[in-house]
Amino acid sequence: MAELTLIEAVNQAFAYEMRDDKDVVLLGEDVGVNGGVFRATDGLIDEFGSDRVVDTPLAESVIVGMGIGMAAQGLKPIVELQFMGFIYPAVDQIINHAARLRNRTRGRLTCPMVIRAPFGGGIHAPEHHSESTEALFAHMPGVRVVIPSSPARAYGLLLAAIRDPDPVIFLEPKRVYRLGKQDIEDNGEALPLDSCFVLRDGIDVTLVSWGASIKETLEAATELSQLGIDAEVIDVATISPLDIDTILDSVTRTGRCVIVHEAARSFGAGAEIAAQLASEGITSLLAPVKRVTGFDTVMPLYRQEDDYLPGVSRVVEAVKQSMEYR
Amino acid sequence: MQDSEFNIETIEALDTEGHLQRPLPEGLADRDKLVDLYQLMVLSRVFDRAAINLQRTGAMGTYPSCEGQEAIGTGIGFAMRDDDVLVPYYRDVATQIHRDVLMEEILLYWGGDERGQNYQRQSQDFPVCIPIATQSCHAVGVAYAIKYRKQDRAVVTTCGDGATSKGDFYESINIAGAMGLPVVFVVNNNQWAISVPLEKQTAARTIAQKAFAAGIKGIRVDGNDPIAVYAVMIEALERARHDHQPTLVEALSYRLSDHTTADDATRYRDAQEYDEARAIEPLIRFKRFLQNEYDWSDADDKALYDDCDDRVKKASEVYQATAGQAAGEFFDHMFAELPTDLARQKKAWLDAVKHRG
């Protein structure tokens, strides 16, 4: 058992799985000698060698496309894209190939690959380093989109993603990479994909979030409890395919739902959750589903990024508005 | 580098009249082998024309013809070993047939049925790639896996001349060079990317010279000459397998067809240029060669064509007799296991189908 940050948990999951499975190969820009710009792969080249921890040229499309070829041969590539803002040259490969290889060959070739990218705002990074565009990928059939929100879930979900026989886009909320530590036993136990995690039980309102926003959502729940409002908090974790059942089950009990995400509001993953609640849970709802999100603007540079990000007070305010419906 | 160094010689074995210009490569030095080579070209041509007819009569969807490019696919097919891996584009009928992809499977795919890419006798080759140049990247990954496992195999990937304008092509040849991967990139330079001719595609005098920027070997070959293509591919594949050195092969040819059955090349193609290209196409030349050197008779030729006609007819019959996929089958291959919500979508769809009767 060791106390680990989220980024250390990512590193530990890699090391565990690479010791266990020679087919696991890491590749990306700066992942080798430098250990990744966030140190996710720190030290791994020393233990596993440069043919398993591969520094690639600076070319995102071929990094992902090459992963597809490796996966089709039965390797389990884990490719790192340095920031989500630089994933777009590889979107063609993700959507047209990784997501479809199993389908278009009727299972003859498959793509057991993990595509990792740090994402989200709040670390005063330069332009193009702070966006949250998970909905782009959640909309595409054939890929899983998984987002951890704590060191333990990073460890367990990453192991699950590596072992999954299909492509997983694993988005790491870099704002909480080093925010807190958790005791993690390095036992190789994966957490389930396609499942939400209920982080806090409550009876008055359901708060749904993922990634770094889980932090503000939990803080809001604490603040709300001082106002006598008992919030349930759900970490969606796998954005797609969505575990709507856990959310529906909660909202059936609470009758109220506030969704919190960093990404722009329109057509975001929150919209899908709200739509499903409307179509499957309308009779349970006591109040309109609220969304507390980023805005439909370009992510501001860092002096204004805190205005963009959904903070605790915006979440608390939305819940208060929800509670006004009787 | 001096400009003159960009003058890359085009490797030829047969001249346009079918006269052999150099000794036959070892693997092709007997009549039977050469007839096999010719047979694959003819079979591809006959298949291609049958496929177009199926489309024209409404029995198949849009199809991209490979007429004129049969020698490239044939040379590649004969040079590859069974355990090498092909990562093709969509005019590689000859190579695919030679590598045990069934003709009825090719028809099934263009006939709108995904099962046509679940090749029953070819487990490792990639399916045809529709988005341009993206397959180059997959070939690099397959080559990495081969090298990682220290296997004595190589990868061949193909594309057209238009694809060499794309980032994926450059990224792939570059990374293959940087990592030293066992892969051969073959560009079918058929002079056209739909309606855009090569001179609008690039100011580079050759496509082969693009290899220089990636630090890999670039070769130019007469793509209407299957013997030359074979010889070049044997050499490139050996370099890939033994030295882990990638090669870019530019195979010069001409697209004697429309881009696809949905295209009409007379809108943009000069008639005289087309006639000139047709005069030097690979099948005519190779028949002359067999006549010149191996007493190939018109009767031999007719027998060969008849045999190919029969095989293609049988494949077409199998294709047309293939039962459709089960209702809702398209849900089943998104993931190894059907996710909960997708299972519900499938059930709702099947219930609705049942309800409608």
Domain-embedded: residue A148: yes
Domain finish residue from A134, A160, A184: A184
**Element housing A193 (H / E):** none
Look-up: residue for tokens 């492509």? A167
Q: How confident is the model at residue B7 (pLDDT cuts 50, 70, 90)?
A: confident
Would residue A190 count as lying in a domain? no
Beta carbons of B339 and A194 less than 8 Å apart: yes
B255 is catalytic: yes
* Helix (H) / strand (E) containing A4: strand A2-4
How far is residue A202's CA from residue A211's CA, in Å, rounded to a whole number?
Answer: 20
The minimal CB distance from B148 to the residues A64, A75, A102 is found for: A75
- Which residues touch A9 (CB under 8 Å, ≥6 apart)? A151, A152, A154, A155, A158, A182, A184
Q: Do A57 and B175 touch (CB under 8 A)?
A: yes
Q: Same structural domain for residues A207 and A311?
A: yes
Residue A189 lies in a domain: no
Residue at which a domain ends, from A184, A210, A245: A184
Q: Among residues A97, A124, A128, A129, which one is catalytic?
A: A129
Which residue, B37, B23, B1, B103, is CA-closest to B304?
A: B37
Question: Domain end: A155, A184, A213, which one?
Answer: A184
Chain A positions in Cβ-Cβ contact with residue B142 (cut-off 8 Å):
69-70, 72-73
Q: Are residues A128 and A204 in the same domain?
A: no
Does residue A50 fall inside a structural domain? yes
pLDDT category of residue A138 using cuts at 50, 70 and 90: very high
If you average pLDDT over every residue of chain A, what do you get? 97
pLDDT of residue B4: 53
A129 is catalytic: yes
How many structural domains is chain A composed of?
A: 2
Task: Please check whether residue A290 is in contact with residue A322, taking contact to mean a CB–CB distance below 8 angstroms.
Answer: yes
User: Rounded to whole angstroms, how far apart are CA atoms A283 and A309?
Assistant: 32
CA distance A199 to A33: 37
Q: Based on the domain organization, do A179 and A202 belong to the same domain?
A: no
A155 and A14 share one domain: yes
Q: Is A80 helix (H, G, I), strand (E, B) or coil?
A: strand
Contact A62 B334 (CB under 8 A): no
Report if pTM > 0.80.
yes
Tell me whether residue A191 is in a domain.
no
> Which positions ≥6 away from A226 have C-beta within 8 Å?
none
Residue B308 confidence (pLDDT): 98
The predicted-structure confidence for B70-124, as pLDDT tens digits, reads as follows 999 999 999 999 999 999 999 999 999 999 999 999 999 999 999 999 999 999 9
A204 and A95 both lie in a single domain: no
Q: Do A222 and A179 reside in the same domain of the chain?
A: no
For residues A99 and B131, the answer to whether their CB atoms sit within 8 Å is no
Chain A with chain B: Cβ pairs closer than 8 A: 138
Mean pLDDT on A23-49? 97
pLDDT band at B356 (very low <50, low <70, confident <90, very high): confident
**pLDDT tens across A273-319, in order?**
999 999 999 999 999 999 999 999 999 999 999 999 999 999 999 99
Contacts for B201 with CB less than 8 Å, ≥ 6 apart: B161, B162, B164, B165, B193
pLDDT tens-digit series, residues B297-313? 999 999 999 999 999 99
Q: Collect all residues of chain B within an 8 Å Cβ-Cβ radius of residue A77.
A: 141
User: Domain check: are A164 and A304 in the same one?
Assistant: no
Residue B5 has pLDDT above 80, yes or no: no
ipTM attached to this prediction:
0.96
CATH number of residue A27's parent domain? 3.40.50.970
**Residue A238: alpha-carbon gap to chain centroid:** 7
Residues A119 and A211 in one domain: no
Partners of residue A28 in chain B, C-beta under 8 Å: none
Say which of B268, B278, B333, B344 is annotated catalytic. B268
- We report the CATH number of the domain holding residue A295 as 3.40.50.920
Record: contact A142-B172, CB cut-off 8 A: no
| B325 has a pLDDT exceeding 70 | yes
d(CA B203, CA B199): 7
Range of A104's domain? 2-184
The answer to whether A229 touches A319, Cβ cutoff 8 Å, is: yes
Q: Which residues of B touch A (CB under 8 A)?
A: 85, 87, 114-115, 117-119, 123-124, 126-127, 131, 134, 136-146, 148, 167-168, 171-172, 174-175, 178-179, 330, 333-336, 339-342
* Res. B137 pLDDT band, cuts 50 70 90: very high
Neighbours of B23 (CB within 10 A): 9
